[in-house]
Chain A
C-alpha cells in the first residue's frame, strides 16, 4: 500500500517541472571543489522505466541524464538550461497574435551542446521530441502541452519556433522542460519498447552505464557535458552516481546509518528523529509545492452550504496540533497558494484556531447540541463522512486529529476512506461530504482545474463567476503583474467563500552525508537531482 501511495504522490510531483538552480554556481564560491568521488543514493521505489515521459515515478535518475530547455530553480522560477534564455514577451521570445488567440515561442539553443555519445544537440531534436511524445502510438504518462502546439519550425540548428494554438502561460511547465529526446538514435524506433527506456541518452551531466533491474543504476560522468564552473573546470565534479533501489523505508534508514548509501530523499517523518542524531549525516527540510486541504462538498449535505458551518469547521481546526501529530514538520497555511510562490497572498481572510468562536458561530446559526454532544438544527445532525486516501498514513493520522477536534465543537465526522478508482470516482463525482487530501502542482500551476466551475478536479460543486473570471485571466495572460493580481484576488475570494480549508504544506525530508557539497534542494522535490553537476564530495 505504501508504495502505491508513493506512486500516486510521485506522479504528481513529476509534474513539477525539472529544476536547475542558478545557485549551483554560487554555492561553492570561495572554496575549491574536489573533483572525483562517487555518491550512492537510496531510492525508495523500484524504477519502472528511465524514460522521463513514460515513468509513473519521480524523475530522480532521469534528471541526471535528460535535460530540458528550461527548468525551475529552488524558488520555482524558470531558468534557462539548453536554451540560452527563458522566452518572455519582453525579450521577444514570445509573440502573441493580434487576436490574442495564439502565440509563437522562440527558443535560442545553447551552442556546443552534445549528447553523451558525442553527437551534436540541435533544434531537430526539439521538434522530434514534440512529434514523438504527441504520437498517439506512444503510450506516455505525460503528453501535456503537446496538443497546444500546432507546428514547430527549425530555421537553423540553434533556433526553435513553436506555434501555439492558444495563449498558454503554462507552456514552460510541460513538454520541453521534462527533457529532450535524441532524434539520431530514436528516429523510426518504437519508443514504447525501445532500449532508450533502460539506457536513456541525454545531454545531462551523467550517463547511464549500467542498469540492473530491481537493484541499481550506475551513472558515469558525461565526458561531453557542456557546463563548466566559474574557474573553467569541466563539470560534473563527481565521477559517478549510483542509485540503489531499496523499497523498505526501515532498510533505507539502516543503509544511511551503515554508510552503504549517502543520500535519500522523501524520508518518512517518523524516521527523521533517529537520523538527525547520527554523526556524519544532515537532514534538510525541503518545502514542496503541495498543500493539504479539507474540501466541503457543496452538492452534499445542506448544512455544508451554510457558510457559518464551514467557518466553524475552519475555526475548530488546530493546524498546529495536526502538524505536531506528524512530527512537527508540516507548515500551517492560510491559503491554497503555497508560500514558495511570490503571489501567495497574506491578505486573505484567516480562520485561526478558536473553538469558542466555532461553537458560537454554530450556536448563532441555530445548531444546538443534542444529548450526545452533536449539534443539530431541525432534526439535521451535523454528522458527516470524511474521506481520505486509504493507507496514506500521514493523511489518516491528520484525519484522526480532525475528527477529535470537530467532536469538541459538536460536529461528528466519520472516516470513509477510499483507494484507487473508488477514490478518484468519488472525487470527480463529488461522492463525499468532506475530503481531506493533498494537491501538488507544477512550478507554474493552474488553479482553474481545482476551483473554476468547470475545473476537471472540481468535484465539490464550487462555483463563483468572480473566481472563474480571475482564474481565466491568470490562465491566459502572459503579463506577470496581471497574473499576480488575478491570483491574489482569487485567493481572497476563495477564502471568503471557504469551499476548502487550506491546512498545511508538507515538506519533504532529505537526509544526506555532510561530505556532500554544492547540494541545493528544490521545492519540486524529485528535481533535487537536476543540480547534480555542481555536487562534489569533500575529502
Chain B
C-alpha cells in the first residue's frame, strides 16, 4: 500500500462528494416544507415579511443558482449562517462535535472491546450454554427499541435508585471529569449495547465459518494448540468481514446518535440534525450531511487500509 494510492483515493473523493452533495441538496429541497414554515401557523406574520425573509436567505433564487452558490461557498470554507439561530454554520457544527465524539466515540470503543471477545467466545463454545446465552442477549440487543431500554434504565438508575443523572451532559456548575462520566454512563451503555449485539453476531459467524475451513482442521491435526488455532490462525482471517461492518458503523460516530442524544438530552450532532430538520435549516443540514458523507467515505478508505494490515496478501496499488 503506497502513499500515492492513498492520495489517489482521497482525490477520488472530491467528485464523489460533489455528486453526493448534489443529490442531498436536491432531496432536501424536494422535501415538502421550507425554513419559513415555522411561521406557517402564525396569523400575524405578513406575506411581505415572508417575502423579505425569503430574499434575505436567498431562497427566492432558482434551485440551481442556490446550489451553485452553496457549493462554491462550501469549498471556500464558508458554510453560511444557520437560518434557525443566525450563527455561523461552522461554529454551530463545531460546538457539537466534542459532545458527539465523547458519546459515540466511547460507545464505539466500549462496543469493540466487548463485541469481539464475545463473538469469539460464542464461536468457540458453539452450541453450549455460553453460546446460547450470548446469542439470546444479542437478539435482545438487536430487537429491543433503544428508547424503551433507555427509559427503563432512566427510571431504575435515576428515579428509583437515584444513582445516576437521567439526562444532560453535566451538572450545571460542576462539569468535572467524574460528573461527565456519570452523565455518560447510561447513554454510552445504551449505544454500545446495540452495537455489541450486532458486531458480536458478525464476529461469531465469521469465526464459525473460518473454524470450519480445511486449513484450520489441518492445523489442529498437526497438533497446534486450540488457543493458537483460534487466535493466530482463525481470528485474523475472521476479522476481515467484521472490519468492514465496524468501519462503516464508525462513520456514525460523526453523524451522531440521533435517538440516544434526544432521549438523554445530549447536545451532539444528532440532535442538531433533528432540530435543523424540524426547522428546515438548509445550511446546517447540508453541512451535517456532508460531514456524515465525508466520514462514511473516509471510513471506507480506512476499512480498505485495515484489510491490508490484517491480511498482507491484500495489496493496493
Q: A-side interface residues toward B, CB under 8 Å? A: 1, 3-4, 7-9, 11-12, 15, 40, 46, 48-49, 54, 56, 136, 139-144, 174, 192-193, 197, 212-216, 218, 242, 244-248, 250-251, 254-255, 257-258, 260, 419-424, 439, 441-442, 449-450, 456-457
Contact = CB atoms under 8 A, between A and B. Distances in A.
Contact of A193 (B38, B57, B86, B169): B86
Interface residues of B, number: 56
Nearest to B53: A139
B47 A251 contact: no
A56 B85 CA distance: 9
A244 B168 contact: yes
Interface string B275-291: 10011100000000000
Contacts of B95: 213-214
Interface stretch (B5-13, B202-210, B244-252, B266-274): B266-274
B279 A48 contact: yes
A457 B167 contact: no
Contacts of B274: 3, 247
Given A7-B278, A251-B166, A260-B166, A143 B40 contact: no
A497 B285 CA distance: 47
A11 B39 contact: yes
A8 B267 contact: no
Contacts of B38: 7-8, 11, 56, 141
A421 B87 CA distance: 25
Given A244-B265, A251-B263, A260 B165 contact: yes
A439 B43 CA distance: 8
A62 B167 CA distance: 24
B40 A420 contact: yes
B43 A255 contact: no
Nearest to B147: A250
Given A141-B45, A439-B43, A421 B275 contact: no
24 contacts: A9-B41, A11-B38, A15-B43, A40-B172, A141-B38, A144-B46, A174-B44, A197-B85, A197-B86, A213-B95, A218-B173, A244-B172, A244-B265, A246-B168, A251-B264, A254-B158, A258-B159, A258-B162, A260-B165, A260-B168, A421-B37, A441-B43, A456-B43, A456-B46
Contact of B32 (A9, A49, A422, A457): A422
B129 to A, nearest CB: 36
A254 B40 contact: no
A7 B279 contact: yes
Contacts of A143: 49
B278 A4 contact: yes
Contacts of B39: 11, 56, 141
Contacts of A197: 85-87
| A7, A258, A450 pick with most chain B CB within 10 angstroms | A258
A8 B84 contact: no
A12 B42 contact: yes
B292 interface: no
A263 B184 CA distance: 24
A212 B32 CA distance: 32
B271 A421 contact: no
A246 B86 contact: no
Contacts of B147: 250
B49 A254 contact: no
A139 B86 CA distance: 9
B96 A420 contact: no
Interface in B144-163: 147, 151, 154-155, 158-159, 162
